Amino acid sequence: MAGDTPPVVSTREADARVAVDVKALQAVGHVDAARERFAELVARHQRRASRIAFHYLRDAADADEAVQDAFVKAYLHIGTFREELPFEVWFTRILINGCLDRLKQRRRREKWIAPPVTDAMGVERDPAEYLPSHAPSPEDHALASERRQQLSVALAKLPERQRVVFMLSHFEGRSSREVSAMMGLNESTVRVHLFRAIRRLRTLLAAGASRSLSGRKNRAAR
Amino acid sequence: MRLVDAVFRQGHLSEQALVEAVMTGERPAHLDRCDICAERSVELGRWLDDVRNLGLDAAERAFPAEKLVAQQAQIMRKLEQLDEPPRVIAFPRQMPGAARESGGRRVAPAWLGVAAAAGLVIGVIGGHFTARVSATEHPAQTAVAPTVPTTPATQPVRPAVPATAMPATVTASLIDLDLDNPTPHDLAMLNDYTPTLVGRSNR
């Protein structure tokens, strides 16, 4: 019977329900139960949050810390969460603000500690990239790795807003409206950022591909 | 189709229009009529898929399942620490001066009275004891004192006369001595009885 089937609950509704429960449990002082309930939200959004932070910060350790901090902040300030807004949007905003703060801190640190490592093309590189890899290096792996590297370098060259808009829209599949809510921007501004990001990325990746192709030809000729 | 595309792009879709079409999935009617734009949109779609796969792959490699499990555990630990009341390690609360006060309080007040009484008793007993000891020692002193030779070794030593053995007539004559104009006899008598007089003055 149709009346006996449980109603289908969307992720958004489920998130909102959990968030409201956590808020209520915190209010009556049942912190253990509140934490257990919050763990559901962590499990549901952790992977996506890690992806966003990783693409934003371009450093796995930094991204890991940013995600942890974002969840802790969300738990502490869950009292300010309003059901009208999806939890995902509210949380992503916390995460992005945290990532932005980390980037600012990193820039300040880099100013004083050491100049950024750049490659022959003048592109800022992570020093860890120059360490020898322990992974096996058959040609397929090498090619895939090269392409990932090219994408990472190209993404790094994008202005921050373009990068985040591209990431949220394309990697996370968010609509322009959702991205605008997450970033606090106009929907039309988000669309413009997205278009510019794609155009710039295509140019950068095409240039990178032609460079690597000529490099391979030269190596083969030798 | 937008007027701009019709005028400046010979009726083809702009890059932005293509991106919007591919990203939103809203396919413009122009794509059904124009093979060139359809091909461009397919090519753009492929490129975007490729980039997406690369991006997701990179993120998956950076955050494998075991790392996510560890991350979740770390988050829950942090939340637990937040909820627990902070443990405050006892820090010395008193200043050095105050510590001295608290050191005085370690002795019970009753013991102070006991100590004072004991001191008083010891003092009284000690006083009595020293008085008795000194009383027993003084007769010995009077007996010993005359044995000390007071005359030079060249002169014949006269026997010392104890004060108790001095006759009353001698004492009276010593009292009557005119010390302002003494005669040799007076001085000789005084010399003879000097040890006895010294012993008396000591007493």
d(CA A181, CA A189): 12
- pLDDT tens per residue across all 222 residues of chain A: 444 555 556 888 888 889 999 999 988 988 899 999 999 999 999 999 999 999 888 889 999 999 999 999 999 999 999 888 889 999 999 999 999 999 888 888 777 765 555 555 555 555 555 555 555 566 777 777 788 888 888 888 889 889 989 989 888 888 888 899 888 889 999 999 999 999 998 888 888 767 666 666 666 666
Contacts of B79 in chain A (CB under 8 A): 35, 38, 71-72, 75
Out of A39, A63, A169, whose CB is closest to B23? A169
**Domains in chain A, start-ordered, CATH in brackets?**
9-115 (1.10.1740.10), 135-222 (1.10.10.10)
| Partner-chain contact B75 A42, CB within 8 Å | yes
Which amino acid is present at A35?
A: R
| Partner-chain contact A54 B59, CB within 8 Å | yes
ipTM higher than 0.85?
Answer: no
Region of A85 on the Ramachandran plot (φ > 0 left; ψ -120 to 50 alpha; else beta): beta
Task: Note whether B85 contacts A: Cβ–Cβ < 8 A.
Answer: no
| Partner-chain contact A199 B15, CB within 8 Å | yes
Q: Which residue of B has its CA nearest to A147?
A: B54
Token output for A48? 């996506």
User: With 0-12 CB in 10 A as exposed, 13-18 as middle and 19+ as buried, what is B100?
Assistant: exposed
Q: Which residue of B has its CA nearest to A149?
A: B58
Contacts of A198 in chain B (CB under 8 A): 19, 48
Contacts of B48 in chain A (CB under 8 A): 170, 198
| Partner-chain contact B20 A72, CB within 8 Å | no
Which amino acid is present at B198?
A: V
